[in-house]
Every structure is written in structure tokens, then in C-alpha cells.
Amino acid sequence: MDPIYLLLLPVGIVIGLAVGVALHQLLTNRKIGGAEERVRRILEEGQRDADAGRKSAELEARELALKTRAELEEETRRRQREIQQVEQRISQKDEQLTRKLDQIERRIVDHETKERSLLARERESIEKEMRLASALDEHRRKLEAIAGLTSEEAKRQLLAQLLAMRLEEEARETAHAKAKEVLATTIQRLAPDYTVETAVSIVDLPSDDMKGRIIGREGRNIRALEQHTGVDLIVDDTPEAVIISAYDPYRREIARLALKTLIADGRIHPARIEEVVEKVKRDMEQHLKEEGEKACFEVGVQGLHPELVKLVGRMKFRTSYGQNCLQHSKEVAWLAGMMAAEIGADVKLAKRMGLLHDIGKALTHEQEGSHPELSLQVLTKYNESPVVINAALAGHENAEPMTIEAVLTEAADGISAARPGARRDVLESYIKRLAKLEEIALSYSDLDAHQLAKDISKRIEAEMQYPGHIKVVVIRETRAVEVAR
């Protein structure tokens, strides 16, 4: 190998290494410079982004502050409006209270004025009474001086004059109502046929052999019938018939129906008798309802309580002085309705009053008390109106009629009871009543005819029992008329 080449090789290697190192250093510096430039640009961009974010945050904060301020201002304005409204309401309340206080003060002043006026009237009334007492004394002295009358005689004349004045005043005040009442009592357009109820019922038998089966061994069957029905069975020589005797028509009807059922069935013994009687009693409840509904339909009365309807039906099996109570009540309803139509009164109300005026008689066989008392109890229990209750009491308990329809009902009751053939009465009791009337009338003197008629009518009401009304007529120097109801 060439020595020069050998010498130059290490030099070349050294030079190559030096160049390589220089180049590596140069490249490294360039890379570092580029990296620093990139870092600088990144830092500048970050600073710009940070400045932009800060500005955005400041803008958002400023907008939020503005929005919050606007909301606070709106809330403040709303609160101010509410405060103004409250103040306005308080002001209105204050005005109202002021007006009410003014009204109360005016009322107090008016009350004081009225009180002073009443005191003045009271003083004036006292003065008038004193003058009247003085005038009465003067009148008494003049009567005694002129007529030579005693003090008692003068007092009776004065009382008679005062009574006449009071009656005249009452007549003037009630002239219109009395005219209607007089007109109503003259209207008598209904006169249906009437069959008087008896105290017995007759049951026909298919043959006389049936009598023995009805009596039973040692009379067991007939005793069972009488025990369960409360009637008397008369098995006598009457051909092919058995007589049922009882004053209670309801019991007679139960006994009649039960006996007819037993005869048709053929099985007649105490156990069967008890069974049939109980079944007939249950069936009779439905029958009472049907009879009540039928009566209400015939009369034209609607809206009665179901229990009242059954009581109306029960009146079919009640009598008063021999007159059937249901027929009588229907007659009263028809009469009262026709009279109401004649004078322009309430026809429906008059009919309702007429149908229910004796409803207590449906219970007189089962509960204690007079039929007006029972009518009051049952009508009150089933929520009938006070005017209907008043009509049931008027004429029985000296209750004054509250309505013209009640007056019509009372008049119709008298017409139905008093017409010929409606009620039966034995001659002996009629004579006894006449004797009692004569005794009461003769126990009074001739003085004070008006008061005499009233006193006699009150005694008749308290001491006697009679159908309808009794008119008391006192004829002396004057004629005075009162009615005992």
C-alpha cells in the first residue's frame, strides 16, 4: 500500500469525523432552533387563546351581571306593584269600615229616636187609658144617675157595648175571609149513595156438614179461629152460613178471608188455622197499600209517604158512628176540592187536607189517644206540611184554621157527616144528648146573651161526645149564635 495513502487515511478519517461532528452539530442546532421557534409560536398562540378566553369570560360575566341586574330591577318593580295593591286594598277596607261605622252611628241615632218615640207613645197610651178610665167612670155615674141602675147593672151594659164594638171590629177585619167561608159552606154538590157498615160478616158454606169441621173436635177449631183472629164465630141454625161478629172491621175481614181459604182448602185443624191466618194478615198489608193507592188515585192526591198510603187504605176497615172512614175521607176530599174550585182556592191542597183530616182514626184501635192526637203524630212523623196538620186539628181540638182550604175541609167534614143516612145513631143516645143539651142551656141566666152562647158551646165541647157540629142559639132580647166543634 502507498505510504502516502496510509498517511492520508487517518487524516481523512479525522477530517471526516470532524466534518461529521460539525454537520451533526449544525443539524442539532437547526433542530433545536426549529423546536424553540415552534415552542415560541405555541406560547404565542396560547397567550392569544388565553386573552380571547379571558375576554369571553369577562363578556359573559358582564352579560350575567346585566341580566341579574335587570331581574332584580323587575323583581323590585313587581314588589312595588304588590305593595301598591296591598296599600290600595287597605285603603278600600278603611273606607268600608268608615262607611259601616257611619251606618252604625246612624242606626244608633235612629234607635234612640225610635226609643224616644216609643216612650212618647207609651206615655200617650197611658194618658189615653187614664182618660178612658175617667170616661168610663163618668159614663157609669151618668148611667146610675139617669137610669137608676146599680154599678153591677151598668157594668154589664158597658161590657155588652164593648163586646159588641169588639165583635164589629173583628167582623170588619175578617169580612173577606168570612165571606168565602160562608160561600163555601153553602156549596153541597156531592151526595153519593152510602151503605152503612154492620158489625157482622157472613161466610157462605158449601153445605151444613162443613159446620162440624169448622167447630172441630170438642170445639178446638172454632176456638183456634177466634183466638188467632180476635172475633166471635157464630155457628147457628142459619143454613149453609157462618156469622163472624166483631166491632173491628179489620179483624172481621181477616177472619172472613181466612175462613174462606180454609173451606176451599179442606184442611181445617189448629195448626193449619194459625198458618192461614198469618198468611192472610201478610196479604192484608199489601191489600191495604192497594186500597190506599186506589183511594189516592180516585181523589187525585199524589206524593204521599208510603206508610200514609197504607194508613189511608186501613181506613176502609174503620167506622165512625157507622160511617166508613175511608168513604167519608174521600167525600170530604171531593167536597173540599169542589168548593175550592168554586172560590178560586188551592184545589190540590184542599183535597189532600180532606183525605188526611181523619187519618188518626186508622190507628185508634191500636194506639192510645184521641184521633186528632194520633193524626198530629202520624202527619208530623211523615213530614206533612203544617197547613195540612192544621186542617186535621181544626174543628177537633179548637185549633183555628190557618188557611181558607182548612176552612173548606172543616165545612166539607160537616157536610159529609151531617147529611141524612151518612151516620147511624140509636134513638136512646139521641134523646140523652137532647136532655144533656137542655140541662146545659137551662143552667144559665138570660143576661149576657153573647157570652152565654159561647159558654154553653164550651161546656158542650167539654162534657159531650157527638158527631158533627152543634149550633148554640140564644134568643132573648138579642140573638147570639156560637158553634161547638
Provide the whole-model pTM. 0.47
Residues 231 and 264 in one domain: yes
In this structure, is residue 350 part of a structural domain? Answer: no
CB atoms within 10 A of CB 28: 10
Following CA atoms 247, 251, 256, 262 in sequence, which dihedral angle do they give, to the nearest 10 degrees? -140
What does the buried/exposed string (b/e) look like for 362-382 if buried means 16 or more CB atoms within 10 Å of the residue's CB? bbbeeeeeebbbbbbebbeeb
Angle of helix 449-463 relative to helix 427-442, nearest 10 degrees, comes to 140
Residue 231, SS3 per DSSP: coil
Domain boundary among 173, 208, 231: 173
Residues 163 and 203 in one domain: no
Residues 435 and 476 in one domain: yes
In this structure, is residue 444 part of a structural domain? Answer: yes
Residues 141 and 206 in one domain: no
In this structure, is residue 411 part of a structural domain? Answer: no
CATH code of the domain covering residue 277 = 3.30.1370.10
Which of 350, 334, 343 lies closest to 391 in space, CA to CA?
350
What pLDDT is attached to residue 42?
A: 79
Domain boundary among 256, 289, 322: 289
Domain count, the chain: 3
Q: What is the pLDDT of residues 327-346, one digit of tens each?
A: 888 888 888 888 888 778 88
CB atoms within 10 A of CB 351: 27
| DSSP H or E stretch at residue 305 | none
Q: Can you tell me the distance from the alpha carbon of 441 to that of 313, in angstroms, rounded to the nearest whole number?
A: 41
> First-to-last CA distance in the chain?
181
Residues 168 and 90 in one domain: yes
Phi and psi, residue 190, nearest 5°: -115, 125
What pLDDT is attached to residue 191?
A: 45
The number of CA neighbours under 13 Å toward the Cβ of 80 is: 6
Residues 251 and 202 in one domain: yes
What residues are paired with 200 via a beta bridge? 245
Domain boundary among 274, 289, 304: 289
Q: Can you tell me the distance from the alpha carbon of 86 to that of 80, in angstroms, rounded to the nearest whole number?
A: 10
Q: Can you tell me the distance from the alpha carbon of 242 to that of 224, in angstroms, rounded to the nearest whole number?
A: 15
In this structure, is residue 149 part of a structural domain? Answer: yes
Q: Structural domain of residue 468, as residue ranges?
A: 427-484
Q: Can you tell me the distance from the alpha carbon of 208 to that of 215, in angstroms, rounded to the nearest whole number?
A: 12
Which of 272, 291, 281 lies closest to 229 in space, CA to CA?
281
In this structure, is residue 186 part of a structural domain? Answer: no
Residues 224 and 272 in one domain: yes
Residues 112 and 162 in one domain: yes
Q: Can you tell me the distance from the alpha carbon of 484 to that of 437, in angstroms, rounded to the nearest whole number?
A: 12
In this structure, is residue 68 part of a structural domain? Answer: no
Q: Which residue has the cell 168565602?
A: 180
Instruction: Report the Cα 478 to chain-centroid distance in Å.
Output: 48
Biggest CA pair distance of the chain: 209
What pLDDT is attached to residue 187?
A: 45
Residues 158 and 89 in one domain: yes
In this structure, is residue 464 part of a structural domain? Answer: yes
Q: Can you tell me the distance from the alpha carbon of 472 to that of 437, in angstroms, rounded to the nearest whole number?
A: 9
Residues 167 and 224 in one domain: no
Residues of the chain falling short of pLDDT 50: 179, 182-183, 186-189, 191-197, 425-427
Q: How far is CA 55 from CA 45, 52, 157, 310, in A?
A: 15, 5, 124, 100
Residues 205 and 148 in one domain: no
Q: What is the pLDDT of residues 166-222, one digit of tens each?
A: 666 665 666 556 545 544 554 444 544 444 445 667 887 888 778 888 888 888 888
In this structure, is residue 223 part of a structural domain? Answer: yes
| DSSP H or E stretch at residue 323 | strand 323-324
Angle at 430 between CA 428 and CA 434, to 5 degrees: 115
